[in-house]
Amino acid sequence: MRILATTENITVDGSIEILEDWFDPKREGDTDKSDLLEEEQRQGREADALLVGRRTFEAFREYWPKQTDDRTGITEYLNRVQKYVVSSTLNDPQWENSTVLSGDLVEKVTALKQEDGREIVLTGSIRLAHTMIEAGLVDEYRLFVYPTVQGGGRRLFPDGYELSRLRLLDSKAFRSGITLQRYAPA
């Protein structure tokens, strides 16, 4: 049985929606991010499935397969991992190892979790994340917290959603000032 982990980049004030430039993976900064990249690669090795919404999928498909000198390993990971894209309009994903999920999403993801395998990672895809959270399907929350305050934007948990508590699994700081906080439902 697989676990479903949602991995999100988030601001200190709780926004996962990118309204400004606080998260730009293409921007090279002065900060050494090799330890952050190592953690991202470690998580990629643990996952054998990626679950995303159509817009996130299309953004990934437009950018990552075209990278020819990607030293991060993200291109290799995204090309090999089994990708599940949630869409009612997309028929042909046009990217290897991709499957379109439509219909009863909770039923489909529940079935994916019952299959043999490792982790299913949901990233980005705010509406999809909200659906999985409300259905109680998320087993782990992996929050890469960026040291910035955005002052607005959509949050990880849907408005009105109440979860009694989360249990801290791990917390790690990176040289860039970004932290990783891993939680499970208590």
CATH numbers and ranges of domains, the chain: 4-17+32-185 (3.40.430.10)
Taking 70 as the threshold, does the pLDDT of residue 161 lie above it? Answer: yes
Q: Which residue has the tokens 């090309």?
A: 79
Which pLDDT band holds residue 185 (cuts at 50, 70, 90)? very high
pLDDT for the residue 23: 65
Structure confidence at residue 152 as a pLDDT band (50, 70, 90): confident
- Whether the pLDDT of residue 27 is over 70: the answer is no
Q: What gap in Å lies between CA 153 and CA 169, rounded to an integer?
A: 26
The confidence score (pLDDT) of residue 17 equals 83
What pLDDT, on the 0 to 100 scale, is given for residue 141? 97
pLDDT at 112 over 70: yes
Identify the CA nearest to 8 among candidates 22, 116, 176, 159. Answer: 22
Residue 129, pLDDT > 70, answer: yes
Q: Average pLDDT of 65-72?
A: 86
User: Residue 28: its pLDDT value, please?
Assistant: 52
Look up the pTM and report it: 0.90
Give the CA distances from residue 186 to residues 71, 112, 163, 167, 168, in Å, rounded to whole numbers and listed in that order: 37, 23, 9, 5, 9
pLDDT for 37 equals: 85
Strand order in the sheet with 82-86: 98-101, 82-86, 47-53, 119-123, 4-11, 140-146, 179-185, 166-173
